[in-house]
Structure 1
Amino acid sequence: MDGLVAQQRLSLRHFSVAQMAAAIERSHVRLCAVLVLLALACFLPGFTSLQPMDRDEPRYAQASKQMLETRDFVDIRFQDEARHKKPVGIYWMQSATVALGEALGVPEAHTTIALYRLPSLFGALATVLLTYWAALAFVGRRGAFLTAALMATSIILMVEARLAKTDAMLTACSVAVMGGLARAYLGRGAGILPRRTLLIFWLGFAAGILIKGPLVLMFAGTCAAVLSYKERSARWLLTLRPWLGALATLLIVLPWFIAIAIKSGGAFYSEAVGHDMLGKVGTAQSYHWAPPGFYLIAYFATFWPGAILATIAIPFAWKHRREEPVAFALAWAIPSWLIFEAVPTKLPHYVMPLYPAIGLVAVMAISRHFVGPYRPGARAATVLIPFIPVGLTVGLSAVAWSFDGTLPYRGLPFMIASSLVALYAWRMFVKDRVLNTLAAGFISSALLALGVFGFAQLDLRSLKLSPRLAEVAHNLPCENPRVATLGYREPSLVFLVGTDLEMLETGPEASSFLKQGGCRLVFVEKRFEDAFRAENDRLGQHPTLSTRVTGFNINSGRRLDIGAYSSGS
């Protein structure tokens, strides 16, 4: 009997993690299920509790909310201002998810930011699964899984999955297009592409245009141009059925582009092309200016935990640049990256659609045992793996202590655990166990998401100015109050309080607003209170100071002290 028990224990011991991984790898479905679980572990913490993040997210959400309020699904507006910057795709998706939530009985669906974030969550999940599909054109199942997992656990995709914006969905569309383009290039001469590949490619193309205009064309076009130059021929593109695909794309995207041209009298194109797109090339968007090299520096944080391993793989990419899979990955990433670096306007998420190509190069290098501690400077460089979670743990603790006089106690255990697992990942790299480094990095990333987004942000009360002000407005003892704000003009306040929130410019305007009678509330930032009180004295009115809300505005970089003044009943 003792021998039988010992034999059973031995057999269980032999059922190692490697054997479990081998069993999972035998099925695309199982691999994709693991990827979805890993992605959800990274994307879901804090998804519903994180406040609307100024300024872009509430602008998108508010415009989608106004579509539902006005039933106008052609024009895009933020309050009375036309929002002619991006096409309509993401607004339609957000409006649809909110309408569905409302139909299912979600309370206060129109101001529930999580409903507006669902397209971004779906886009982030699609990015992970499409990265797996695209990578299968280059590497085997394990390599494709690792490439997709690098995307799922990257900080930039974790952030964008939680924001009601275009970028997660745009990345999904871009990866769909690049996956189809890769199959056309790497399989040239093999005959006709499968219908599924063509469908994914052209649907990704059309959806990408409806979401963010010509960017998906730039990613695919620059890559195709470089590879066609390398091959001295562009005939390989014919397998994508360009004439039929272009016709289908036009049928999908043209109706709205024609409708908005008629509705806006051409103003959409002058604003979207003349101000938004060309403004990024010139100086109109100078408040997001950064020097060339910005993306290279930011990438070490935004593509964590895979960034440093991909950097170690750079010599591999150069050495094998003539090999077709490596050549495609480089043509995918480098031309568009250089364009983004040359454009003065820079934001970290702009290069996110290029990260799957970087992850591919890293995985190809790892699979050939090119990445390891024996590379020059690799041991020291991989200290960046624990540096990111340690830095966030220390940084968020310092912010919480500085602003609120406390520590993010609920998030600290998970952030510390993330740091320790990341330290273990570094130790595995030093021992030349790179796959273990990757696995530990994925676990560290999931723990970091839970610590930062799931819990730590809940304790940063000073950063939640708009939700706290909106709570004051919603707790007024009257129905349908008129609300205005002076000095604090963040879009999140419009989204949470209501479309008719009035934006005031001066203290006398705030006083005059209250003088009009009825149930009214005005938020007055401390800088304007002297003028506000002086005008109240002149008019002989005595509004009630309901409460004061203090905190820190990330966008302006200032501490704010806002008084909530009410009158009427």
Structure 2
Amino acid sequence: MTKPVKIFLLVALFALYYLIPVEFRALWQPDETRYAEISREMLANGNWVTPHFLDLRYFEKPVGGLWINSLGQWIFGHTNFAVRAGAIGSTTLTAVLVYWLGVRLFNQRRVALIACVIFLTSVLVYGVGTYATLDPILTLWLVASMCSFWLAAEAKTTSRRVMGYALLGIACAMGVMTKGFLALAVPVLAILPWSLWQKRFKELLLFGPVALVVAATVSAPWALAIAHQQPDFWHYFFWVEHIQRFAQADAQHNAPFWYYVPIFLLGSLPWLGLLPGALLIGWRARRESPGPGYLLCWVLMPLLFFSLANGKLPTYILPCFAPLSLLLAHYGTTVAPATGRMLRANGWINAGFGGLVTVALLTVLAPWSIVGRPLYTSAEVFRLLLAVMAFASWAVIGVLTVKSPSHRWTWAALCPLGVALTLSAAIPERIRDAKQPQSFIETVAPRMSASRYLLADGPGVASQLAWSLRRSDILLYAQQGELRYGLSYPDAQHKYVSREAFDNWLAGHRREGNVSLVLLLSSDDEKPEVTTPPDFIWRQGRLVYLEYDHIP
């Protein structure tokens, strides 16, 4: 296969995964709709220092990642792709860094290129990399940090080494401004044990301050600006968003120590069969060259750190998949073909996974479910068939790789492709109505646009309303959620209406114009709990739209 053909296939694979299907997927709430609206408001109000969400101060995240997300909407407009452009662009640049590091470590472009493919097609990377959240952006800066340190570690001159540490400082600063001090912890956790093992700790002490000074210099302008605009930002951000989230017993997203084991394994699909061998070979090769040991520290130390923390989310371990992709590519290219046993095992794992999900769809989740709780209704057989075809193709590709594992093992990159292309059309309406309110809002948007006041019972639906209608004056009803702190300011009291106060509030405010209320109920059978009957009601699954006419 010629080089132009390989480049064409790589570009086509990237487009089929990351470009073509993304625009057709509705935004998920609460994460995607939140970051879509925060970035839209940043463009609208011109405040690039303090993030605002529904016109409220939003201190849960710094501003760096929001800058990148805003850039996506500035370039591509008010579209679903634009909302996800920051995540997609960051994932793409991370893959480029994976290639760069692969060439440096193994001196083989083929290994580096396959590592890119493995990275871009791993389930966790793809799932998060096409999802509008800050984790792909943070991962870019963390991978840039680790690449910068490697550049410094292999430098032959002092000036080049200083440049490597300076780049490390820039990447760490951008990571801190994207998601906080976690951007400092991950590189330190990986770099420190490797430096001790390689007996380069003195070098780290000598040049490390360069990175610290550069990081402080780069982040200082925004850090001082936010402290000037919002004096309590750093207290809230450091204590609540770092100490409480990760360390306290009641930390947000609390989960057991082993939580990341299944996430790590499933996230490695469709390359799971290569995982044991890649980690083992990385351990054995550490004595021959420093590169595999560096990658191994980079995979295992952050994974252990996040496992020890009380607060856990699947996206936290995303940075581990960059070095893991290099280990998998190295093993699959240079070691595994000798016997083909693990390459064949990887094919059978993919065949089994695709087949198992296909059987589950047809027997458990279908309208004729044998357990009596189907996910798809009788009117959604076409959606079900699309899902079946997607996972059946996963199984078929797995079987094809088994027949000639040494030559076809990279075909595993095609396993998730059917899911990627059919995801938006195969999602059951029950999930769509609860997690993707975009179609619901588009249906009632003409009526909403005429309302003087819009309320929603939670930040998730409220952010979708705000982004879809391009208005940030949405009021919160009954639930404050993550906006509790922003609502505590005296100038934000009017942005929240409790359930108990709603009737009195409604009686006064409908004199100024129509009032609309959107509710996300806990089940399809639940009835809206409102005392004052609406003049118009529209329901789609768990989402309910209530409209109260203007009474002069």
Range into which the TM-score falls when normalised by the shorter chain: 0.7 to 0.9
CA contact (8 A) 1:525 1:561 kept: yes
CA contact (8 A) 1:63 1:77 kept: yes
Q: 1:374 to 1:309 in 2, by over 3 A?
A: same
Structure 2 counterpart SS, 1:484: strand
Residue 24 (structure 2) pairs with residue 49 (structure 1) = yes
Counterpart amino acid of 1:274?
Answer: W
Residue 522 (structure 2) pairs with residue 522 (structure 1) = no
Residue 522 (structure 2) pairs with residue 545 (structure 1) = no
Shift of 1:520: 2.0
Which position in structure 1 is the counterpart of 2:294?
328
Which position in structure 2 is the counterpart of 1:16?
none
Residue 259 (structure 2) pairs with residue 294 (structure 1) = yes
CA contact (8 A) 1:51 1:464 kept: no
1:456 corresponds, among 404, 420, 426, to 426
2:183 corresponds, among 206, 209, 216, to 216
Alignment of 1:162-311 (within 5 A): 162-185=130-153, 187=154, 189=156, 193=160, 201-237=168-204, 242=208, 245-265=211-231, 267-283=232-248, 286-311=251-276
Tell me how large the CA RMSD over aligned residues is.
Answer: 3.5
Shift of 1:363: 2.2
CA contact (8 A) 1:412 1:451 kept: no
Q: 1:390 to 1:262 in 2, by over 3 A?
A: farther
Shift of 1:349: 1.4
Residue 442 (structure 2) pairs with residue 479 (structure 1) = no
Alignment of 1:2-17 (within 5 A): none
CA contact (8 A) 1:372 1:432 kept: no
CA contact (8 A) 1:134 1:180 kept: no
What TM-score, normalized by structure 2, do the two folds share?
Answer: 0.81
CA contact (8 A) 1:39 1:153 kept: no
1:75 corresponds, among 28, 50, 58, to 50
Question: What is the alpha-carbon distance in structure 2 between the residues aligned to residue 40 and residue 202 of structure 1?
Answer: 33
CA contact (8 A) 2:69 2:84 kept: yes
Question: What is the alpha-carbon distance in structure 1 between the residues aligned to residue 4 and residue 167 of structure 2?
Answer: 25
2:70 corresponds, among 95, 102, 105, to 95
Question: What is the alpha-carbon distance in structure 1 between the residues aligned to residue 423 and residue 240 of structure 2?
Answer: 36
Which position in structure 2 is the counterpart of 1:363?
329
Deviation string 1:244-292 (CA, Å, 9 cap, x unpaired) is 5544433321100111112211x22222211111122234764522212
Aligned residue pairs total: 513
Deviation string 1:226-256 (CA, Å, 9 cap, x unpaired) is 12211223355589x6555544433321100
CA contact (8 A) 2:354 2:394 kept: no
Residue 98 (structure 2) pairs with residue 131 (structure 1) = yes
Counterpart amino acid of 1:205?
Answer: C
CA contact (8 A) 1:135 1:144 kept: yes
Greater Cα offset, 279-288 or 155-164? 279-288
Question: What is the alpha-carbon distance in structure 1 between the residues aligned to residue 432 and residue 460 of structure 2?
Answer: 19
Question: What is the alpha-carbon distance in structure 2 between the residues aligned to residue 251 and residue 261 of structure 1?
Answer: 16
Question: What is the alpha-carbon distance in structure 2 between the residues aligned to residue 500 and residue 256 of structure 1?
Answer: 27
Which position in structure 2 is the counterpart of 1:496?
468
Residue 397 (structure 2) pairs with residue 428 (structure 1) = no
Structure 2 counterpart SS, 1:346: coil
Deviation string 1:149-199 (CA, Å, 9 cap, x unpaired) is 1011112222222222111121122222222222333x3557764999677
Counterpart amino acid of 2:441?
Answer: A
Question: What is the alpha-carbon distance in structure 1 between the residues aligned to residue 160 and residue 383 of structure 2?
Answer: 52
Give aligned-pair identity as a percent. 20
Counterpart amino acid of 1:500?
Answer: D
Counterpart amino acid of 1:532?
Answer: V
Q: 1:131 to 1:374 in 2, by over 3 A?
A: closer
Q: 1:428 to 1:549 in 2, by over 3 A?
A: closer
Pick the structure with greater CA Rg: 1
User: Unaligned regions of 5+ residues in structure 1, if any?
Assistant: 1-18, 537-541, 551-559
Structure 1 counterpart SS, 2:275: helix
Question: What is the alpha-carbon distance in structure 2 between the residues aligned to residue 415 and residue 204 of structure 1?
Answer: 43
Structure 1 counterpart SS, 2:105: coil
1:63 corresponds, among 29, 35, 38, to 38
Greater Cα offset, 321-330 or 403-412? 403-412
CA contact (8 A) 2:343 2:405 kept: no
Structure 2 counterpart SS, 1:288: coil
CA contact (8 A) 1:64 1:94 kept: yes
Question: What is the alpha-carbon distance in structure 2 between the residues aligned to residue 328 and residue 525 of structure 1?
Answer: 48
Which position in structure 1 is the counterpart of 2:85?
118
Structure 1 counterpart SS, 2:25: coil
Question: What is the alpha-carbon distance in structure 1 between the residues aligned to residue 422 and residue 357 of structure 2?
Answer: 10
CA contact (8 A) 1:546 1:565 kept: yes
CA contact (8 A) 2:29 2:435 kept: no
Question: What is the alpha-carbon distance in structure 1 between the residues aligned to residue 516 and residue 204 of structure 2?
Answer: 61
Question: What is the alpha-carbon distance in structure 2 between the residues aligned to residue 472 and residue 399 of structure 1?
Answer: 28
Structure 2 counterpart SS, 1:483: strand
CA contact (8 A) 1:514 1:567 kept: no
